[in-house]
Amino acid sequence: MDASKKYAQVIVDVPSLQVNHHFDYAVPKEWQDIITVGMRVQVPFGVRQVLAYVVGFSDQTDFAGEVKPLAKLMDEAPVLTPELIALGNDMSRRLFTFQVLCYQAMLPSLLKVDYAKYFLPTASLTFENRQNYFADEHEIAWQEAEKQGSLSDLIALQKDDQVWVDYRMADRKQRKTEKWLQPLLDYDVLAQISRDMTRHAPKQQDLLAVLMDLDGQAIACSYLRQEFDLKMPTIRAGEKKGWLTVFEQEIDRNPYADLETEKSQAKSLYPQQEAAYQAVAQAMDAQQAQTLLLQGVTGSGKTEVYLQLIQHALDQGKTAILLVPEIALTPQMVTQLKGRFADQVAVLHSQLSRGEHFDEWTKLKKGQAKIAVGARSSIFAPLDKLGVIILDEEHETTYKQNTNPRYHARQVAKWRGAYHNCPVVLGSATPSLESRARAQNGLYQRLLMPERTNQQSLPQIDIVDMREEFQHKNYYQFSRQLRDAINATLDRGEQVALMLNRRGFANYMQCQDCGHVFQCPNCDVSLTHHYDSQSLQCHYCSYSQSLPQSCPKCRGKHLRSFGSGTEKVEQEIYDLFPGRTLVRMDNDTTRRKGSHQKILDQVANQEADILLGTQMIAKGLDFPNITLVGVINADTSLYLPDFRASERTFQLLTQVAGRAGRGDLTGQVIIQTFNPDHYALQFAQNHDYEGFYRWEMTYRKVNHYSPYYYSVRITVANFDEKTALRVANEIRQQLDQAQVPGTRIIGPSQSALTRLKNNYYFQILYQYRDWQSIQPVFDQIKDRAQEWDRDHIHVGIDLDPMTFI
């Protein structure tokens, strides 16, 4: 018996009791050899049994009362590694949140829903164990094993790879299995049987011959059918005679099975790529936990550098994580990774079913796949021996989670890099100001790739003043210049990409007679007119109503929708460019699995002349025949209630402009705007990231914004406005009393969306310079938030927020 495992330290999963300290439970004797840190257990807690995570063991406890025993084991193998347990601990402190929430964020969602577990034999299960544990069954339910008292034995067998555990969701599609057979007899015995058999059983003779050939190796029954015409009845007959046994073997549900990938070879690097590669590879070789900012213009070949760095990690016997802003939007990246690394890649894709996602995660955990690619949460990929961590488009806001735990993947990446002594690469054509500033201070090493790989210069960008168009009575959303350019491009047989900037933008419906705007009855936002479904919808709470016929206020019948959704622009394109084929890419057309890829294929195969999309089309696309990029409206994102509005606009315009002229043909970009003089547009026009950076830094300094000052946003929500405001004021007082030097407090003020989901929101913005100094007061607020929560007053603490609505 392992004395050091007398007590298990667990973090309980109880929403109303979130604390960061662990509870002690006694480990039953029969579990002491199989239980490990990172497994989930059930423990008695008050009158209930609750889920808990084992985070450590000890041979003594400080707890004065009676220490209860653990009630149930939930896993056959740890779901969290010691590294992830330590990470969750640090994250929760750093973000003023709770450990259990961090652990939940790290695990695949299948583990959070109702599922059942079964033990199934693997090919290496010994005959004896099969008889002992399975008898005639082909699987044993976990609960059944618990009842029979064989759970710990089966878990030990799982460690020995003799059985595996199948996770099945209550009512979802199951893991696919197929029938395999395992020969049970030696060659000599089989040969003897064969000699003794009558000649009238040719199928049996064939089966014996195959079994002798297999020499003990397991094989899929379907193979015998295909190759030897031996069908299940024959095999079952052999089973009855004790020659073999049939079992279910899982089939990989490979979600990318039908993805056509051409095998790709490493390209020989251009000098600028080589220099960047060498800098990172050196840090990898020296096992240095260093952050490198790879600042490469659009089309400079960042992807190839990533691929070769990942190869370098594999060559070192290590693993790698590649993060992308949103995996559904980057099918080209997945294709490239699959082409280069085939099955060594696990894709953690948000559009996978829970089961498929779980399978990919399992491959990483078991070491069957060594490269994890995916969005934000893939930073928690259960990989050992990380050799490199890469964040592509590191400036993207999707790397920050907007719900608890509000972590930033970049920060977690640096933590894991430090743990594994491996470098973190942040790649972007338009780095976030925070990262660029850290490079300036020498905290990050800056790597530059200023040239495009096609040896062409960046595309020429023209800015069109839409105010003049209106003066000339052109009421279309297409300026004359953009129309001419589109026609000329299409006449040359080239393609066009058009972006409709929808950040902070919607089509609202207004009464022409009285000016009434249709609003959501639950939230303080305008309803959005959806042309497809002929309805008005709220984007925040999903409220929906059919299109009204008259105004509820004045009964007038002149209703009109304003703004321009992609559908509306689509209609204008049909009017202005008859006979041209168009594909639309936005949230509505890409919701279904695979639809995004289909749209991109149409563009790649030149079945579409015009690609019309939201900011979705700005990222990562590489189509050599797209030579013209048009931005229909550059302005909307400039007016977000957010100090990063200019940065976002600059990034978006630079990224989308970067889609033009990536092949041998010269690119051209036309940006339409009502604010031609805005600096974000001016610097974007001149491809001047550094100029923008310097200008914007001055603005941030003057206004006390990031990266000079960091901020915490505290939100208070309640269905009663007065209560919400009262608590917000209390928090303000508490912050005032703490008197942390170098801080500034703004608010409470009503949030930009004052009534979201039937709640009133207030926010306080707290600007600070040094995390350590604010820790005590925010820890207090965090603990009080628990109490408020019980009264349905929801207090959120968002460290370094990325959005302000």
Q: Would strands 291-296 and 445-449 be described as parallel, antiparallel, or unpaired? A: parallel
Site for Zn ion in 598-627 (CB under 5 A): none
Give the tokens for residue 752. Answer: 């930009």
Q: Which does 553 bind (CB under 5 to 8 A by kind): ligand ATP, Zn ion, none?
A: Zn ion
Collapsing DSSP to helix, strand or coil, 89 comes out as: helix
Percentages (nearest 5) of helix, strand, coil residues in the chain: 35, 25, 40
Looking at the Cβ atoms of 507 and 654, the one nearer to ligand ATP is 654
Closest CA to 56 of 39, 79, 73: 39
Q: Considering only 130-138, 154-162, 298-306, 537-545, which stretch makes contact with ligand ATP by CB under 6 A?
A: 298-306
Residue from 74, 269, 547, 738 that binds ligand ATP (CB under 6 A)? 269
Task: Compute how many other C-beta atoms are within 10 angstroms of the C-beta atom of residue 515.
Answer: 11
Give the tokens for residue 390. Answer: 């890469």
Q: Which does 658 bind (CB under 5 to 8 A by kind): ligand ATP, Zn ion, none?
A: ligand ATP
Collapsing DSSP to helix, strand or coil, 796 comes out as: strand
* CB of 276 vs ligand ATP, minimal distance in Å: 11
* CB of 292 vs ligand ATP, minimal distance in Å: 15
Looking at the Cβ atoms of 51 and 324, the one nearer to ligand ATP is 324
* CB of 424 vs ligand ATP, minimal distance in Å: 18
* CB of 274 vs ligand ATP, minimal distance in Å: 9
User: DSSP for 577-602?
Assistant: STT--EEEESTTTS-STTHHHHHHHH
Is 302 among the residues that bind ligand ATP (CB under 6 A)? Answer: yes
Site for ligand ATP in 517-546 (CB under 6 A): none
Looking at the Cβ atoms of 418 and 514, the one nearer to Zn ion is 514
Q: Which does 560 bind (CB under 5 to 8 A by kind): ligand ATP, Zn ion, none?
A: none
Q: Residues 414, 419, 420, 421: is their CA dihedral positive or negative?
A: positive
Looking at the Cβ atoms of 557 and 701, the one nearer to Zn ion is 557
Is 622 among the residues that bind ligand ATP (CB under 6 A)? Answer: yes
Distances (CA, A) of 494 to 373, 569, 603, 661, 663: 33, 20, 11, 10, 11
Is 429 among the residues that bind ligand ATP (CB under 6 A)? Answer: yes
* CB of 327 vs ligand ATP, minimal distance in Å: 15
- Burial of 753-779, coded b for 16+ CB within 10 Å and e otherwise, reads ebbbbebbbbbbbbbbeeeeebeebbe
Give the tokens for residue 660. Answer: 């033009």
Site for ligand ATP in 152-211 (CB under 6 A): none
Looking at the Cβ atoms of 88 and 301, the one nearer to ligand ATP is 301
Looking at the Cβ atoms of 288 and 550, the one nearer to Zn ion is 550
Q: Which does 300 bind (CB under 5 to 8 A by kind): ligand ATP, Zn ion, none?
A: ligand ATP
Cα 71 to Cα 136: distance, rounded to the nearest angstrom: 29
Give the tokens for residue 708. Answer: 């000079």
Is 453 among the residues that bind ligand ATP (CB under 6 A)? Answer: yes
| HSE-CB of 110 using CA atoms within 13 angstroms | 27
Q: Which does 303 bind (CB under 5 to 8 A by kind): Zn ion, ligand ATP, none?
A: ligand ATP
What torsion, rounded to 10 degrees, do the Cα atoms 570, 572, 577, 579 define? 60
Residue from 523, 653, 724, 731 that binds Zn ion (CB under 5 A)? 523
Residue from 115, 187, 543, 679 that binds Zn ion (CB under 5 A)? 543
Query: What phi and psi values does residue 570 have, to the nearest 5 degrees?
Result: -55, -45
Looking at the Cβ atoms of 67 and 514, the one nearer to Zn ion is 514
Q: Which helix (H) or strand (E) holds 303?
A: helix 302-315
Task: Compute how many other C-beta atoms are within 10 angstroms of the C-beta atom of residue 421.
Answer: 15
Residue from 78, 255, 301, 667 that binds ligand ATP (CB under 6 A)? 301
Residues 6+ apart with CB under 8 A from 574: 582
Residue pair 764/735 in contact (Cβ under 8 Å)? The answer is: yes
Q: Which does 543 bind (CB under 5 to 8 A by kind): Zn ion, ligand ATP, none?
A: Zn ion
Cα 496 to Cα 490: distance, rounded to the nearest angstrom: 7
* CB of 370 vs ligand ATP, minimal distance in Å: 22
SS3 for 658-694 is CCCCCCCCCCEEEEEECCCCCHHHHHHHCCCHHHHHH
Residue pair 632/569 in contact (Cβ under 8 Å)? The answer is: yes
Residue from 182, 300, 330, 715 that binds ligand ATP (CB under 6 A)? 300
Nearest 5 degrees, angle CA 406-CA 86-CA 383?
A: 90
Residue from 379, 511, 559, 727 that binds Zn ion (CB under 5 A)? 511
Q: Which does 743 bind (CB under 5 to 8 A by kind): ligand ATP, Zn ion, none?
A: none
User: Going residue by residue from 635 to 664, which x/- string records binding to ligand ATP, judged by CB under 6 A?
Assistant: -----------------------x------
Which residues are documented as binding site for Zn(2+)?
A: 511, 514, 520, 523, 538, 541, 551, 554
CB burial class (10 A; 0-12, 13-18, 19+) of residue 138?
A: middle
Residue from 97, 99, 298, 526 that binds ligand ATP (CB under 6 A)? 298
Is 431 among the residues that bind ligand ATP (CB under 6 A)? Answer: no
Is 190 among the residues that bind Zn ion (CB under 5 A)? Answer: no
Ramachandran region, residue 149 (left: φ > 0; alpha: ψ -120 to 50; beta: rest): left
Give the tokens for residue 345. Answer: 């890649």
Is 304 among the residues that bind ligand ATP (CB under 6 A)? Answer: yes
Q: Considering only 175-183, 240-248, 269-277, 727-735, which stretch makes contact with ligand ATP by CB under 6 A?
A: 269-277
Q: Considering only 216-224, 263-271, 417-425, 764-772, which stretch makes contact with ligand ATP by CB under 6 A?
A: 263-271
Q: How many residues bind ligand ATP (CB under 6 A)?
A: 17
Residue from 613, 620, 630, 707 that binds ligand ATP (CB under 6 A)? 620
Residue pair 319/378 in contact (Cβ under 8 Å)? The answer is: no
Site for ligand ATP in 480-519 (CB under 6 A): none
Site for Zn ion in 556-585 (CB under 5 A): 556
Cα 36 to Cα 57: distance, rounded to the nearest angstrom: 9
Cα 413 to Cα 408: distance, rounded to the nearest angstrom: 9
Residue from 107, 155, 345, 551 that binds Zn ion (CB under 5 A)? 551
Give the tokens for residue 1. Answer: 């018996």
Q: Which residues bind ligand ATP (CB under 6 A)?
A: 267, 269-270, 273, 296, 298-304, 429, 453, 620, 622, 658
Q: Which residues bind Zn ion (CB under 5 A)?
A: 511, 513-514, 516, 520, 522-523, 538, 540-541, 543, 551, 553-554, 556
